[in-house]
Amino acid sequence: MKRTSLVAVLAFLGFVSGHSVAAQQPAAETQKTTGAIIAVEHHWTQAEVHGDVAYINRLLLREYQSVNADGSSHPKSAVLADARGMGSPTRWLASSRRT
């Protein structure tokens, strides 16, 4: 699923403002800087590629919705299900060919 930097900013603001993820992130991800947003975005991408569902689950609020460029939306549960499947190299390759 595609997401924009705005989504990363919202996720970053969610955990910096007291969300439980802040205590579990590397120091570079908990600062209130542009670099921290980039670090979270990179970590999130790596979590999706490697199927690190636990990280994504901690990062996203229960009410999170992913919105694609075509306007379709997906709940947090779909994002987590997609990440579970992305842990498989063949699924990741197949998914990257669709975009």
pLDDT digits (tens, 9 = 90+) for 63-93: 999 999 999 999 999 999 999 987 655 554 5
Residue 97 has pLDDT above 60, yes or no: no
Say if residues 71 and 27 touch (Cβ distance below 8 Å).
Answer: no
Give the pTM.
0.60
14 CB-contact burial (10 Å; exposed 0-12 / middle 13-18 / buried 19+): middle
Total tally of structural domains belonging to the chain:
1
CA atoms within a 13 Å half-sphere pointing along the CA-CB vector of 86: 20
Q: Percent of the chain at pLDDT above 70?
A: 60
Domain around 66: 5-98
The H or E element containing residue 74 is strand 73-75
Taking phi first (over 0 means left), then psi (-120 to 50 degrees means alpha), and beta for anything else, what does residue 46 get? alpha
